A and B are shown apart, each in its own frame.
Chain A
């Protein structure tokens, strides 16, 4: 029984580790003996159908909800940058993009400019957030998470509201951020069509852990096929990344670069 964080770090230098963690709420089992960990610098994707317990697992992993049984460990001094799934900013609160992206951060002007340029928001820095489109607001929330200079980025459905090429672009930016800062990334998704190519490990959750492993391995796993069907497996994580064009900030099409993503194989 560990409702408080265990003080002994698990082996392997994980930032967060759950062992045989179970959560029951209102008599309903929400998480059932789940093993889960995020290593330093690792990109982990958590997928599962609606109601699979993904949100609860994230809350437990962040230490916001206790586990009823099992072990929970979290590295001390963790800085989390969180991109929420739903954000309805109340128009009663006046907020510019600059104020939003620096919220709960201590970012320098140079970092703000760099991050907003990366997410193609630089022209919107002084704009009112209530005028942003869904996609722009989403990128602004991602910029804010980056500016936290986190050890752990937690991104809840980062590809929602985006088309496939938009999602791939966002995932490339996230992968790049991991490379330059060495932060760990937890991506929560129910969108099986685009799982981030740079994902090191996929956890497939449906109350219990169906399977986990490298994206290619998970997509071939029997439990995964049963949960999502063979059609989903065909698209998981092997989404081709050949764009023949990119979109400039004004929406015009410019010639793109071709690139291959070599997939990491673990184990």
Chain B
């Protein structure tokens, strides 16, 4: 039994890392880190509302997450309020709403701390299945749309001129981020989801010369962070979610310093 919960934790963590790494690359390339934060905070509101209404946390999270993504895409069409300000407003509004909604639920057993920071050691096999199901959908969507996503990341007007459906592809990316948040929330929690998306990707950047290498590198860095973080969590009795994120940060710092003095972009 004791071995099983560790096995489930490792499997769930690696499942999250495999999908979040490559997806996180797009968040880094397209400067969407705030976007991920906003969607994860919206996820907290969704969980709270889902539990309050009685439809369940998963459905609540999915509906509110997608709604927040759609609102953001629509609001970004106006120019008077800058995009990062909008994201900041929506992000904190969602967090505040989520916390308020949760305060109404004293009769329901709500582990607020668990939602905020995750509890990877408590995942059951159903959670593991959810991680791999969602992760497989994200990876499949990334592979299938890879050329479109890279082209519009390099130049949106160029992609549009050459017939790539830019608006649809961007919406798909939003859906994928919302799904990744939903998948990773139980593992690392609302406040640390974005970390699993961006830190492995950022760690892979200094040692990558192509988008594909960076995507694989981010997945690998994420897996290493999960393994290292869980190990540290077991040895020193650390909270597991924060330990995984801390391990990812260590990898990032290592990657950054390993390449100091050598500029990967040096000619020849």
Contacts and interface: CB of A to CB of B under 8 A. Distances in A.
B267 interface: yes
Contacts of B232: none
B150 interface: yes
A89 B160 contact: no
Contacts of B209: 94, 96, 128
B264 interface: yes
Interface residues of A, number: 29
Nearest to B163: A80
Interface in B128-154: 147, 150-151, 153-154
A93 B159 CA distance: 16
A130 B161 contact: no
A129 to B, nearest CB: 8
Interface string A191-232: 000000000000000000000000000000000000000000
B208 interface: yes
A248 interface: no
A95 B160 contact: no
B211 interface: yes
Contacts of A92: 28-29, 31, 205
A148 B208 contact: no
Contacts of A58: 161
Contact of A95 (B154, B159, B161, B163): B154
A80 B161 contact: yes
A127 B268 CA distance: 7
A81 interface: yes
B205 A104 contact: no
A161 to B, nearest CB: 16
A13 B1 CA distance: 75
A261 to B, nearest CB: 29
A99 B208 CA distance: 13
A3 interface: no
Interface string B1-34: 0000000000000000000000000001101000
A131 interface: yes
Contacts of B211: 93-95, 99
Given A94-B214, A130-B265, A84 B158 contact: yes
A100 interface: yes
B85 interface: no
A94 B158 contact: no
Contacts of A81: 162
A99 B210 contact: yes
A94 B268 contact: no
Interface in A71-92: 79-84, 87, 89-90, 92
Contacts, number: 75
A103 B28 CA distance: 19
A107 interface: no
A131 B161 CA distance: 26
Contacts of A142: none
B265 to A, nearest CB: 3
Interface in A144-167: 148, 154
Given A84-B158, A93-B153, A131 B29 contact: no
B93 to A, nearest CB: 28
A148 B162 contact: yes
A99 B210 CA distance: 7
Contacts of B164: 104
A144 to B, nearest CB: 9
B265 A131 contact: yes
B157 A84 contact: yes
B147 A104 contact: yes
Given A96-B210, A128-B265, A62 B28 contact: no
A110 interface: no
Interface string B191-213: 00000000000000100111101
Contact of B151 (A87, A89, A90, A103): A103
A2 B40 CA distance: 43
A94 B205 contact: yes
Nearest to A104: B151
Residue of A80, A84, A93 with most chain B CB atoms under a 10 A cut-off = A93
Given A62-B161, A92-B29, A94-B210, A103 B154 contact: yes
5 contacts: A84-B161, A90-B29, A100-B154, A131-B266, A148-B162
Interface of A: 58, 62, 64, 79-84, 87, 89-90, 92-96, 99-100, 103-104, 124, 126-128, 130-131, 148, 154
Given A89-B154, A131-B267, 17 more contacts: A64-B160, A80-B161, A80-B162, A80-B163, A81-B162, A82-B157, A82-B158, A84-B161, A92-B29, A93-B153, A94-B214, A94-B264, A99-B210, A104-B147, A104-B159, A128-B264, A130-B265
Which 10 pairs from chain A and chain B are nearest by CB? A128-B265, A82-B161, A104-B151, A94-B208, A93-B29, A82-B158, A84-B158, A131-B265, A127-B267, A130-B265
